[in-house]
Amino acid sequence: MKLGMSMGKFEAELDSDVCDQYNNANLILTMKLGFRQINPAGNAASGTYHDYGNPTRSTRKIIKWTVGSWELWKKNFVSSAQNYWHGKFWLVNNFDLYTYEKNGVKYRPNIWCGFKLVGKDAGAEAQHHTIDVVRLDPTEKWFGSHETLYDSKDTDNVVKGRTSANKPIMQRAHVHEVGHLLGLDHVDVGKANCPVGSNTNLAPCYGVADPDKQSVMGQGMQLRMEHAVPWRRAMITLSGKGSLMTLTDWEAKRVRHYPRIPSEVASNAAIINRPTRK
Ligand SMILES: [Zn+2]
């Protein structure tokens, strides 16, 4: 069975045809990005562009994209962001759904979470997001980016913050921005230091406590359990079962959980070591 639907900012497809004694159903989120060059005005080799594309903000020096720099940048963006988000979570199936039979034995699959990022030039085909990209002059160290305006250095691993012990916290910005496109908020959104409805780009929203700062939705590169929400949300929508508020509904795990036979389901066993199956 293949069950697909649009989640607005990406597509979700659940594939249970791959299920057997060892393989769970696959849930692949596919996001199509259209990249658009921002070049200096008047076809010049160099020029300026404003932070956040906002004329009231600082200007930065930019240079013209070349065919080679553009192709390389897109390829690096797509492969590294996809690698970061792909195949990191399994969702435990706590519902009587998608049961199948192999060699006379019934199995209930869990859900393996995949991510496919497709990056092309804007307008080449239907895309979920159009992303403008400036090529920074080598002398520029910083540019104000957001989720649909990037700079050529957003794929670099740079210091985004410091721990309480003054240790640098590194981040590749594009991985964080793709997290936003998947529907994830900054790490501290909803806490007292970053109330819902406030400007969630304020510094405290990127984390105050060290472990929160390290989150990929803070200032670092750490993947956390709550980052499985886009896949959990897709499963709730596709299956019509469960709620995000109940953490055991499509509960996220960071290790492979094999499909279960009825006795394992009944005893609520987690099969994380490869079992012997008929
Ligand atoms: Zn952000």
Distance 177 CA to ligand 1 centre (A): 6
**Average pLDDT across the chain, whole number:** 95
The CA 146 to ligand 1 mean position distance, Å, reads 7
State residue 197's pLDDT score.
Answer: 78
Q: How confident is the model at residue 34 (pLDDT cuts 50, 70, 90)?
A: very high
Q: How far is the CA of 201 from the centre of ligand 1 (A)?
A: 7
**How many angstroms separate the alpha carbon of residue 180 from the centre of ligand 1?**
7
Average pLDDT over residues 12-29: 97
The alpha carbon of 206 and the centre of ligand 1 are apart by a number of angstroms equal to 8
Cα(262) to ligand 1 centroid in Å equals 43
Q: Residues with Cβ < 8 Å from 82, sequence gap 6 or more?
A: 115, 116, 117
More confident residue, 8 or 13: 13
What is the distance in A from the centroid of ligand 1 to the CA of 41?
Answer: 28
The C-alpha atoms of residue 215 and residue 194 are separated, in whole angstroms, by 16
Separation of CA 172 and ligand 1 centre (Å): 11
The pLDDT of residue 196 is 79
Residue extents of the structural domains in the chain: 2-155+226-266
pLDDT at 203: 87
The pLDDT assigned to 202 comes to 83
**Residue 195 banded pLDDT, cuts 50, 70, 90:** confident
Question: Taking the complete model, does pTM exceed 0.85, yes or no?
Answer: yes
**Cα(113) to centroid(ligand 1), Å:** 23
Range 59-77 average pLDDT: 97
Give the residue from 150, 195, 203, 193 showing the smallest Cα distance to 173. 150
pLDDT, position 134? 97
- What pLDDT, on the 0 to 100 scale, is given for residue 159? 94
Concatenated DSSP letters for 153-188? TTTSEEEEEE-TT--EEEEEHHHHHHHHHTTPPPTT
Which of 61, 63, 81, 166 is CA-nearest to residue 131?
81
147 Cα to the center of ligand 1, angstroms: 7
The predicted pLDDT at position 148 comes to 87
Over residues 150-177, mean pLDDT: 95
pLDDT at position 178, please?
95
Bigger pLDDT: 202 or 90? 90
pLDDT tens for 101-159 read 999 999 999 999 999 999 999 987 889 999 999 999 999 989 998 888 999 999 999 99
Write down the pLDDT at residue 147. 81
